[in-house]
A and B are shown apart, each in its own frame.
Chain A
């Protein structure tokens, strides 16, 4: 093998996966002795992890041009064992724009989180082991989205579940970490088993595990066994995406895991679930043309959206709140993807990307708060903006993004989702899709509300006595947050470039199943589809920002020239009291308005709903396992009837 051959970009997908596993292997082989540097207990192992994730990101970024822009689908047979006798006998990687899109998201999140981990993990022991699991998790997810083989997808699901469960339990001293890991293990294993069952059912009938070949064989030959397989696979990937009814797991797992891992669980693992569902519905079974299938995804998406945002409103813990928002945003993605229109898929993928960015940022900010204060309880924190100004600004960027405040990225994608769902309603004449638009818009406001709650409870308001010596987090952690914040702003300001470069190729790939099949060397009768994206509204973030900046500049100049913060010489004898807060004349005491119940005016009207939800989410793993079984049963029944 010569060097020119090795640098051929067709090898890059496998390199991207391999470096991560190789990194895990090297770190594991180097033993578990912590280094003496108090700022980096993992020593060189942290750098190995960082280099591995960076290399992986570079390999994938190099694929943007051939795959995204030129529309090539990379089919890669490992060991050059390909098709024999019409059947795929080798293991394949197949990278189309959809795979690459998710892979890029994953690699970015993993890389940024690795930067963050170096300084974040200083208080922990067993940090070398952390990096082993970290690389395994990253490699597992990347392998899942790049794989062209359904059994390998299952293998990768197992690897990532294993790593994720271990990492959830990593901080064994944290209250509830082991319990959360156990819940995750139980339901996660049920999900993995469901995937395996689905794979077996498919293999028994079609004698192949290759995704492209299955996609060429399954449509038109659907029987009850195939439908059963579909239901199993769907539920399996649902547990990975944590969508309703698997959302309580996410809250526990995110809350207990270290923040750098929460980023991966929320930004990366959930995406792998969404990717799996998209591969199933768009490629393998090609059922997205069916109204009932669209209904199912849109329905579950909308329910996830709304239920999880209300659950988030009721949370008292920073990270659990973020976890529920995670699922709420995944609901947006699923609903948009389920619309099965070009604009919908593009919008959904755009939102998936944005979710990785802003939720990563928010989890890192939560981690920064935890790192400095040792708690994420909304009822105990307050006033940190004076001590951690940079973290506050970065958090606010993330909060604005997720709440869809223009001009940040969350708005751009949500705005596309509203249009796509409304357009779908108009096109099909089905008023049900209109409901999705309304739910999405209301959910967005509720999201804003709960982030106002967080900013009031954690960053603004009054500083409790015990946090008076809190310092800003180290530069390494701020750098990681800064990268994500910059990406949030950029992807929000240039929505047209982002869609043209990333999401539209991916949406086109989702529509062109025929291309996916033929690229792998199989035959199909599916025609090539032309996809067009039509938007009904207009939004020019750059121009808007320009005008706002001019306006703001004008106001600020006038304000500064007019001595805006003018302070007179005081005539009162006691200057101290003048700058105290007004407490109705009383002396200042610590009284922070914040915590979980900040929006009582809203919650009062919904008290019956919240009571019901409170009873439903018992926190008992048996219940959640039962939910999984019931969900599986319902899915099977629905598939049998609907398909």
Chain B
């Protein structure tokens, strides 16, 4: 019974931790936009956590620059299980316009398992919400397997 309860709760209370890995700030603003009164993801239980220790979903924006790679990976390591890694915007998936630059390490999936990719430059808030909802489903599954 408790296992079921915890699984259900996991789906209803995903806390986000946001990492900016050298983004142009466009995605970051869009992520904040989904928290505003217009979209208000808090109605689905989403909340921005201040520390990776409290997070369930890690949202990575930006093309993962060389300097930030180490920090991104370390922070992701510090998130407790079960966790879900979401890349947001085209940058962390392909490098976007920064592709080929000597200082860009994208895609992120080379270094760590990514659960959900939200495409777009920057993604629409609706797309972000959809992606996050998918991430919650994966989170719930992961919890079920624990």
Contact = CB atoms under 8 A, between A and B. Distances in A.
Tell me, yes or no, whether A and B come into direct contact in the complex with CB atoms closer than 8 A: yes
Interface of A: 562, 568-572, 574, 577-578, 580, 582, 584-587
A578 B78 contact: yes
B53 A582 contact: yes
A568 B53 CA distance: 14
A580 B74 contact: yes
Most buried by B among A562, A584, A585: A585
Contact of A580 (B2, B70, B72, B78): B78
A501 to B, nearest CB: 51
Given A568-B146, A582-B51, A582-B52, A587 B81 contact: no
B108 to A, nearest CB: 14
Interface string B89-122: 0000000000000000000000011000000000
B74 A577 contact: yes
The B interface is mostly helix, strand or loop, or mixed, namely: helix
Contacts of B45: none
B26 interface: no
Given A568-B146, A571-B113, A582 B78 contact: yes
B40 interface: no
Nearest to A587: B74
17 contacts: A562-B2, A568-B80, A570-B81, A572-B76, A572-B77, A572-B112, A574-B77, A577-B73, A577-B77, A577-B78, A578-B78, A585-B19, A585-B70, A585-B74, A586-B71, A586-B74, A587-B74
Interface in B46-87: 51-53, 68, 70-78, 80-82
Contact of A585 (B75, B81, B112, B146): B75
Contact of A578 (B51, B70, B77, B82): B77
Given A582-B75, A585-B74, A586-B71, A568 B52 contact: no
A571 B81 contact: yes
Contacts of B73: 574, 577
A580 B74 CA distance: 9
A580 B51 CA distance: 13
Contacts of A569: 81
Contacts of B53: 582
Contacts of A585: 19, 68, 70-72, 74-75
A574 B76 CA distance: 11
Nearest to A583: B74
The A interface is mostly helix, strand or loop, or mixed, namely: loop
A9 to B, nearest CB: 64
Contacts of A570: 81
Nearest to A569: B81
9 cross-chain pairs, A with B, having the tightest CB-CB distances, nearest first: A585-B71, A568-B81, A572-B77, A577-B77, A585-B75, A578-B77, A577-B74, A585-B74, A582-B78
Nearest to B53: A582
A570 B83 CA distance: 11
Contacts of A578: 77-78
Q: How large is the interface on B (under 10, 10 to 19, 20 to 34, 35 or more residues)?
A: 20 to 34
Given A580-B74, A587-B74, 4 more contacts: A572-B112, A577-B73, A582-B51, A585-B75
A592 B120 CA distance: 42
A582 B79 CA distance: 10
A559 to B, nearest CB: 14
Contacts of A562: 2
Contacts of B80: 568
B56 to A, nearest CB: 13
Nearest to A576: B77
A26 to B, nearest CB: 62
A570 B76 CA distance: 12
A574 B73 CA distance: 9
A570 B112 CA distance: 13
Contacts of A574: 73, 77
A586 to B, nearest CB: 7
Nearest to A578: B77
A331 to B, nearest CB: 41
Contacts of A571: 81, 113
Most buried by B among A572, A578, A586: A572
A574 B146 CA distance: 20
Contacts of B146: 568
Interface string B22-58: 0000000000000000000000000000011100000
A346 to B, nearest CB: 50
A583 to B, nearest CB: 9
A562 B6 CA distance: 12
Contacts of B19: 585
Contacts of A580: 74, 78
A240 B78 CA distance: 56
Contacts of B51: 582
A562 B51 CA distance: 24
Nearest to B52: A582
Interface string B119-146: 0000000000000000000000000001
Most buried by A among B68, B75, B78: B78
Contacts of A568: 80-82, 146
Contacts of B68: 585
Contacts of A582: 51-53, 75, 78
Contacts of B81: 568-571
Contacts of B78: 577-578, 580, 582
Nearest to B81: A568
Contacts of B82: 568
A82 to B, nearest CB: 77
Nearest to B2: A562
Contacts of B2: 562
A437 to B, nearest CB: 40
A290 B112 CA distance: 80
A584 B50 CA distance: 10
Contacts of B74: 577, 580, 585-587
A550 to B, nearest CB: 23
A321 to B, nearest CB: 31
A574 to B, nearest CB: 6
B42 to A, nearest CB: 24
Nearest to A574: B77
Nearest to A572: B77
A11 B121 CA distance: 95
A257 B76 CA distance: 51
B44 to A, nearest CB: 25
B82 to A, nearest CB: 8
A585 B19 CA distance: 9
A569 B78 CA distance: 13
Contacts of B70: 585, 587
B118 to A, nearest CB: 22
Nearest to B71: A585
Contacts of B76: 572
Contacts of B52: 582
A584 B19 CA distance: 10
B138 to A, nearest CB: 13
A586 B53 CA distance: 15
